[in-house]
Structure 1
């Protein structure tokens, strides 16, 4: 079985604060970081040469490589590889083989990321959501039949489908699936398992979007403290939980509490992920907005300028996040 992604995400408060999208850990699997791209790329090329593009081992390497591209925000490149893997598995293994289903789920998440990050024209985005929803529904139903409703792969599909509903504003549908997934994870894996904690965090964000601030905050604090204990204060999933709680504070106008957490996330992300990592840039963007709300205009402007320069290098001058940062700079400079 090749790499399977699970979903953890953050919401966006009013304004142009940015969301995070970190990969959750795969039980028993290795953490794939950006510096592995070269190694994985070489392994893929070697397997292609020795075994052929359609060999199962080659496809596993291709999927791993595509997943790293996805983490780096290189959506189109990742999509191309995931389509290749999915179509080959359909032909070689059949449409309902577990590896085929996993490849479909990976492609669905690639559509999700393109909709979230690029924020393209309304019809294009809706088309992407429709494709992702169709794929994930198909994966979930087949997994329910073949593996059972409580199987981890089925729960992953359920969580991913909830995410798709969530991003379309279909809160009640998302919440229903998230509660179901959370309760099953608690029963099967325990209340402090990373996958259980991620499901709790995702449910908190559905509460957040419905204005149920206290319910959301209670769950977010629970997740943050558990991740600190289980994984450590500087683990990427811990940083996600801290950033999520910071955005809840931000939305409630609790600037000082939000700032404290956002500084922690930004500094740790710089050290752990690198100064130009997309998630480090997101933390810079969010902290700049908080400083702006606190009346620290000069500091906010300087940080946003640093963020925009890095976004131009990493994402490109026409990327929506870059344009959003430049618009904020223009507004704050006037």
Structure 2
């Protein structure tokens, strides 16, 4: 089901069908594997991406990403690469939802943990740091503050 959803997505214009398959796959995965199974979490993440690609479903994206991050933190720990990716994805979603404080805070956390796990020169760390700086600059500008 998931592979067919990927095919629909790649064909363009079939996002609705891909979404329906991913929703069904998530339902089956939750029922058969459980809420915390890695395949269920991956299915949630895939559905969040599909919702994001359709636009206008950012609240649903946020809810899925929050759930995935919660489970990743509790099962894998703060410093696991999958947890760090989830943190960054949710931070971007929060930014897209115009919730800059939450986005900045979460991306700062991801940057700090990434620096500890990968080092300061790793691309994950640098990307997170660049986003934090950019978002803070925008907030300062928005608030009429000088640097």
Report the Cα distance in structure 1 between the residues aligned to 2:92 and 2:10, rounded to whole angstroms. 20
Write the mapping of 1:76-225 to structure 2, written as runs, cut at 5 A. Answer: 200-211=1-12, 212-225=14-27
Report the Cα distance in structure 1 between the residues aligned to 2:120 and 2:44, rounded to whole angstroms. 29
The answer to whether structure 1 residue 242 and structure 2 residue 59 are counterparts is no
Report the Cα distance in structure 2 between the residues aligned to 1:327 and 1:216, rounded to whole angstroms. 33
Q: Deviations over 1:205-247 (max 9, x none)?
A: 2332443211211111121111101110111110000111011
Report the Cα distance in structure 2 between the residues aligned to 1:328 and 1:208, rounded to whole angstroms. 28
Structure-1-length-normalised TM-score: 0.39
Report the Cα distance in structure 2 between the residues aligned to 1:231 and 1:265, rounded to whole angstroms. 15
Shift of the 236–326 alpha-carbon distance from structure 1 to 2, 3 Å rule, reads same
Report the Cα distance in structure 1 between the residues aligned to 2:58 and 2:33, rounded to whole angstroms. 27
Q: For residue 108 of structure 2, what is the aligned residue in structure 1?
A: 305
Report the Cα distance in structure 2 between the residues aligned to 1:272 and 1:295, rounded to whole angstroms. 29
The answer to whether structure 1 residue 321 and structure 2 residue 120 are counterparts is no
Shift of the 203–317 alpha-carbon distance from structure 1 to 2, 3 Å rule, reads farther
Larger radius of gyration: 1
Report the Cα distance in structure 2 between the residues aligned to 1:215 and 1:207, rounded to whole angstroms. 7
- List structure 1 runs of 4+ shifted beyond 6 angstroms: none
Structure 1 residue corresponding to 2:70, chosen from 267, 287, 306 = 267
Shift of residue 203, structure 1, vs aligned partner: 3.2
SS at match of 1:234: coil
Give the structure with the larger helix fraction: 2
Structure-2-length-normalised TM-score: 0.86
Q: For residue 294 of structure 1, what is the aligned residue in structure 2?
A: 97
Q: For residue 143 of structure 2, what is the aligned residue in structure 1?
A: none
Report the Cα distance in structure 1 between the residues aligned to 2:64 and 2:80, rounded to whole angstroms. 19
Ranges in structure 1 where 5+ consecutive residues have no aligned partner = 1-199
Q: Deviations over 1:73-93 (max 9, x none)?
A: xxxxxxxxxxxxxxxxxxxxx
SS at match of 2:46: helix
Report the Cα distance in structure 2 between the residues aligned to 1:208 and 1:316, rounded to whole angstroms. 35
